[in-house]
A and B are shown apart, each in its own frame.
Chain A
Amino acid sequence: MVDDSDPKWRRLDETARRLDCPGLAVRRLPGLGQTLASGDLWAAAARAGVDAAGVGALGNAQGATYSVRLARDRLLIVSEAPSPLAAGWSDDGYAVTDVTGGFDVFEISGAHAADVVARATNVPITGAGPSAAIVFAGILGYLYRHGDGLRLHVERGYSAFIWQWFETLVTTAGWNED
């Protein structure tokens, strides 16, 4: 009989913000506003002042406010300032939900950032696909480039797991600076 009495991963240390090893840095990014828009994405994006197509997997997001494409009819708007869209149904044909508390955001940077993606995914991600939704380390995540690094959104409930996954990686990878 399987013994499930031991926890499968540790409780997340909320003060933990950064992991480092040669050639890799992982940071938790607090304070990013996240808004989910569903329905008429073009109307929602126009209202929010972001690109309706949004960035896909490994696509390049730029600026303090940008959009990430999750599905055919779903867009995640990320902003450093409070959300540009009011939550609720819009008569323009879209629905808005504030999901700031729903997802944790991690920044992966350094020369080995691409190696992290290779370890976390089971198929090569070539080019920027239409959707940023991928399976990352076995869980659903939204992955794209931002600045010099990558950003990964995972459901808040998986934060402890993914942080421990990163901890294991930085302590066992054995990578050099380059």
Chain B
Amino acid sequence: MQLFSCPFCGPRGESEFRFAGEFGNARPEGATVTDAQWSSYLHRRSNPKGRSAELWLHLTCGEVFRLDRDTLTHVVSGSYALGDCAEEVQP
């Protein structure tokens, strides 16, 4: 079983976690949002092969966090609590 690291709880088995989407896919806000922007938010993912920044949910404690991992090798390179400057860390 692969171990993921919850920023709050620490290392736990992968079955305690659920993928929650691509990191950085911010919901467009405001009255001027175009159809193309909304469509991109809903449907267009970068789906990288290799290093990837993702949102994951730790089902046990409810923490939503950023997990950096390699989609090819499954190697996890980091996990960050949201708000801990996670947006500025490059995968």
Contact = CB atoms under 8 A, between A and B. Distances in A.
B15 A71 contact: no
A131 B1 contact: no
Interface stretch (A1-9, A77-85, A122-130, A149-157): A122-130
A71 B63 contact: yes
A129 B63 CA distance: 15
B50 interface: no
A75 interface: no
Interface string A102-138: 0000000000000000000011000001110111000
B13 interface: yes
A135 B6 CA distance: 14
Interface string A8-45: 00000000000000000000000000000000000000
Contacts of A133: 9, 60-61
Contact of A129 (B9, B13, B16): B9
B3 interface: yes
Contacts of B6: 131
A122 B10 contact: no
Given A70-B61, A71-B61, A71-B62, A131 B11 contact: no
The residue among B16, B60, B62 with the most chain A CB atoms within 10 A of its own CB is B60
Contact of B8 (A71, A123, A134, A135): A71
B1 A123 contact: yes
A140 interface: yes
A72 interface: yes
Contacts of B8: 71-72, 130-131
Contacts of A134: 60
Interface in B1-48: 1, 3, 6, 8-13, 15-16
B15 A129 contact: no
Nearest to A70: B61
Interface of A: 57, 70-72, 74, 122-123, 129-131, 133-135, 140
16 contacts: A57-B9, A71-B8, A71-B61, A71-B62, A72-B63, A122-B13, A123-B13, A129-B10, A130-B8, A130-B9, A130-B10, A131-B6, A131-B9, A131-B61, A135-B15, A140-B60
Interface of B: 1, 3, 6, 8-13, 15-16, 59-63, 81
